[in-house]
Structure 1
Amino acid sequence: MADYEVKSTNTKDFNLTKADALVGRLKYESWYSFKAEIQLVSGDANFTIRPKGFWGTTIEVKHNERTLLDFEMNWKGQIIINSKISDIGQCFIIKQISILKNIFVLLSNEEKLLTIKPNLQWSKMNFDYQLISTDAFENLENKELLLLTAIHCTNYYITMMTSTVVATMAGI
């Protein structure tokens, strides 16, 4: 089990730390954009996150043009992440487990791997996150990439739900 923190430095940049040591960064191109870059401290690897296709409903995480992960939201409000990192494809699900407490989990084969707790920073109008992983998560290949992808997915979920509420309130 491990604890991680994600701090937003502004509306576009998020730093992932473990025991106050920088693990990686998630940097969006602009506010409320799905386009982003992940930079990991270990291995100095950079990954791009881009919507795919005409509607842009599927989002891909790539390294040197190779798709490692892709994700999309299903009709249940869950985000399905498909891993293509190894020959054995793995599927993950991010879903909100508590609306009142605003808690998300990352699951694989119905096993909880990661708990994601957003914390709205009113002064920055952005979220910081507390991440609590299980031992099974800590044994995953490319867990740092998956952590920052999970943050992108959670931001995506919050953005979609917020825009739905705003549109509903506006009578659109």
Structure 2
Amino acid sequence: MALHTGEVNLAAAFVRAWHAGAGASNPISDRLSVFGVDALDTYERVLLCAYPEVVRIACTLVSTAVITPVLDIRMSALDRAGVLSRAVADAIGEPENDELRTFTIRVVGHAHRAMLYMYGLRSTRQAKHQLSPLNRALIVAASRQRACLLRHASPRRIPDIAGKVTGAAPKPRVIRKWPIKIDELALS
């Protein structure tokens, strides 16, 4: 996990969402008062006041064992969001709340849309029936759809189903040159 790939930004967004619905007595609120910060409204303030929680959530987000089942589109995004919401709350060390659940539903819904896009990728425009390898399709979909969770799904453990053709997946030498974009829902 690198700092520029979006997982830390997304983890900060999870902390911000959780804190919006948390009670007044928690470690993050205590740090807010100690540092004299009035709100977690920027990425820098979230890192200042909730760095340990952000790091634990980022480790959860890059865990293949956690993310691969969450990205299984054969199951409801609402059910999968509950799994991720509980994992994030466990990483924070506090109970989950409505704001965290709502934000997690948005994140999982966005990732499921990116997964549907991923299933439609083909390897070349000329070979319309040759599927792109799942590992390459995951990376392309993560970049094009700005969904960083897809980079941590195990291509061996996700179901291999084909969807509507949405475009071609470029060759690996092209993909390597792409800049890494943070998640669409992450704090920047």
In the superposition, the TM-score normalised over structure 1's length comes to 0.31
Q: By percentage of residues, which structure has more strand? A: 1
Q: By percentage of residues, which structure has more helix? A: 2
In the superposition, the TM-score normalised over structure 2's length comes to 0.29
Q: Which has the higher contact order (CA 8 A, sep 6+)?
A: 2
Which of 1 and 2 has greater Rg?
2
